[in-house]
Amino acid sequence: MKMNKFYNKIENMIDELHDFLSDLEEKQSAIEDKAMEKDRDMTDKEQEKFDQIGEQIDITYDFMNCLEEAQGIIMDYCDV
């Protein structure tokens, strides 16, 4: 029973991370769109911010994958 609560907490975290990723991806797209609207390449500052957000996105996806693996383990060993 306790593992079921833990599983659900992980599920909630994953849902929140999906929302967080959507926000990050929107910010990244906005930076790219701004440059495209002005028909130019991104400035160095914009490129740096774009790359930083990309790194955050990658790290968040890695973290989500770990959480999903944890859920799988809980499902394998417990009655969820």
Q: For 20-72, how does the pLDDT look when each residue is reduced to its tens digit (9 = 90+)?
A: 999 999 999 999 999 999 999 999 999 999 999 999 999 999 999 999 999 99
Please, are residues 31 and 50 in contact by the beta-carbon 8 Å criterion?
Answer: yes
Q: State whether residue 12 is helix, strand or coil.
A: helix
Name the token pair of 53. Answer: 């957000």
Tell me which residue has tokens 């833990």: 6
Residue 77 pLDDT level (bands cut at 50, 70, 90) = confident
pTM of this structure: 0.84
Please, are residues 79 and 1 in contact by the beta-carbon 8 Å criterion?
Answer: no
The Cα 23–Cα 21 span in angstroms is 5
The residue ranges of every structural domain in the chain are 2-77
* Tens digits of residue pLDDT in 7-26: 999 999 999 999 999 999 99
Residue 79 pLDDT level (bands cut at 50, 70, 90) = low
